[in-house]
């Protein structure tokens, strides 16, 4: 079978921090306009996932490290803008502001609703069970719109650890970037908190209603990021749902190869990309990754469980990467150099690549063999086929509040 070209779109976010000097003589509305405009510059790109060369099989690994680091700043930068606008100068005072006709870059005229030390109760999310109460709130709504463009809930302006964390929703189509003009009603939720079982900080990104076009190729997906090994490594896991029908519309020249793959994978129109990797934060950012595709409710070590003797390209794992990108792939565990994150050996507060991969594309509450010390899979980790498919008929709390 020919190797097929998959283009997988993931959100890439970059942020800029303003120069906050000499702001004191400006009006509050002007300060907010400048600070928030600098905090919500979004951009994204596409990378090949699986194509004619081995390096291109792993395009998303090369891009996603940058994506993950950029996205992890979205909450921090919005809170920083509020702090530098003076909203926490009196840390215990309650305050509610509704500011109309604030001009934000990309959005244009907007209404800002800001609540400080004014709790918002009964906030549900896809990332945790039940409801939470958050102390602070920011909403951006384009003037005249009925639906917000962004909502942020958080407990503490200084940390997301040791409390209810922070939760943000946003609609990229509202951000005024031509790259987002065709992303439709896709809405993204991000939740940041801490976990006592492993790692020091986690962040999960979940989206639904992707248009499955060249601008946003997936329908639904989730990414789970965890800072582990005392902040020395990033654990990245994700599952994305794609469609053969939509992939053929986007890449008509690959129709034959896509049809062949669809048949080999059992005939289902939906295919799921499952990825886990560990990356060292220190240069040269050594990374070990494991990935597969599946159309079933479970995943296999090879694409759709295909035999590597009949389909040599069906084996993706393990792949290794450094600061320059792709190094090589289709390695056995004992072939991964010892200076790279281990495929099989974890630590006191981090998983091996195998452990991370085994904990991906599974249901919340699942008990993973050999991972008793990590406990059952938590709600923010849920990446099962059933979970993603349920977004077809329900928002599952992934909605503006």
DSSP, res 259: H
Using CB atoms within 10 Å of the CB of residue 179, give its burial: 0 to 12 exposed, 13 to 18 middle, 19+ buried: middle
Distance CA 274, CA 291 (A): 5
Confidence (pLDDT) at 234? 87
Flag residues of the chain having pLDDT under 50.
Answer: 1-25, 41-53, 55
Distance CA 16, CA 284 (A): 24
CB-based contact 25:68 (threshold 8 Å) = no
Distance CA 228, CA 44 (A): 26
- Residue whose token pair is 């289709």: 330
Q: What is the CA radius of gyration of the chain?
A: 21
Confidence (pLDDT) at 107? 83
Confidence (pLDDT) at 28? 58
**Among the listed residues 321, 400, 398, 401, the one whose alpha carbon sits nearest the alpha carbon of residue 126:** 398
Structure tokens belonging to residue 250: 């986007």
Confidence (pLDDT) at 199? 62
Distance CA 71, CA 390 (A): 25
Q: Could you tell me if residue 51 is left (phi over 0), alpha (psi between -120 and 50 degrees) or otherwise beta?
A: beta
Structure tokens belonging to residue 308: 């590597």
What number of other Cβ atoms are within 10 A of residue 37's Cβ? 18
Structure tokens belonging to residue 84: 């530098």
Confidence (pLDDT) at 30? 66
Q: Could you tell me if residue 148 is left (phi over 0), alpha (psi between -120 and 50 degrees) or otherwise beta?
A: beta
């Amino acid at each position: 079978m020919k190797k097929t070209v998959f283009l997988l779109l993931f959100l890439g976010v970059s942020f800029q921090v303003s120069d906050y000097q000499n702001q004191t003589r400006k009006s509050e509305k002007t300060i907010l306009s400048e600070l928030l405009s600098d905090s919500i510059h979004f951009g994204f790109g596409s990378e090949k996932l699986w194509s004619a060369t081995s390096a291109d099989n792993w395009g998303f690994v090369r891009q996603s490290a940058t994506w993950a680091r950029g996205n992890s700043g979205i909450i921090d930068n919005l809170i920083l803008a509020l702090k530098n606008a003076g909203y926490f100068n009196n840390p215990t005072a309650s305050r509610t502001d509704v500011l109309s006709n604030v001009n934000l870059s990309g959005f244009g005229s907007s209404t800002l609703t800001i609540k400080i030390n004014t709790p918002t109760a009964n906030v549900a999310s896809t990332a945790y069970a039940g409801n939470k109460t958050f102390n602070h709130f920011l909403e951006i709504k384009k003037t005249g719109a009925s639906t917000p463009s962004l909502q942020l809930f958080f407990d503490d302006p200084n940390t997301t650890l040791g409390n209810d964390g922070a939760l943000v929703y946003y609609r990229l189509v509202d951000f005024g970037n031509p790259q987002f003009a065709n992303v439709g009603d896709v809405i993204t939720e991000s939740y940041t908190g801490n976990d006592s079982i492993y790692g020091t900080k986690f962040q999960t990104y979940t989206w639904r209603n992707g248009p499955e076009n060249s601008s946003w190729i997936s329908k639904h997906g989730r990414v789970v990021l965890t800072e582990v090994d005392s902040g020395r490594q990033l654990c990245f896991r994700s599952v994305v749902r794609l469609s053969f029908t939509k992939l053929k519309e986007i890449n008509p020249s690959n129709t034959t190869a896509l049809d062949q793959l669809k048949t080999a994978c059992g005939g289902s129109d939906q295919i799921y990309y499952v990825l886990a990797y560990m990356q060292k934060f220190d240069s040269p950012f050594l990374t070990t990754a494991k990935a597969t595709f599946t159309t079933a409710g479970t995943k296999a070590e090879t694409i759709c469980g295909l035999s590597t003797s009949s389909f040599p390209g069906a084996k993706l794992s393990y792949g290794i990467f450094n600061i320059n990108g792709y190094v090589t792939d289709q390695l056995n565990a004992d072939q991964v150099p010892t200076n790279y994150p281990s495929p099989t050996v974890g630590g006191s507060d981090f998983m091996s690549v195998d452990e991370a991969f085994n904990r991906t594309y599974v249901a919340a509450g699942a008990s993973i063999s050999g991972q008793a010390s990590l406990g059952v899979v938590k709600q923010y980790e849920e990446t099962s086929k059933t979970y993603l498919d349920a977004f077809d008929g329900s928002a599952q709390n992934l909605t503006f509040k």
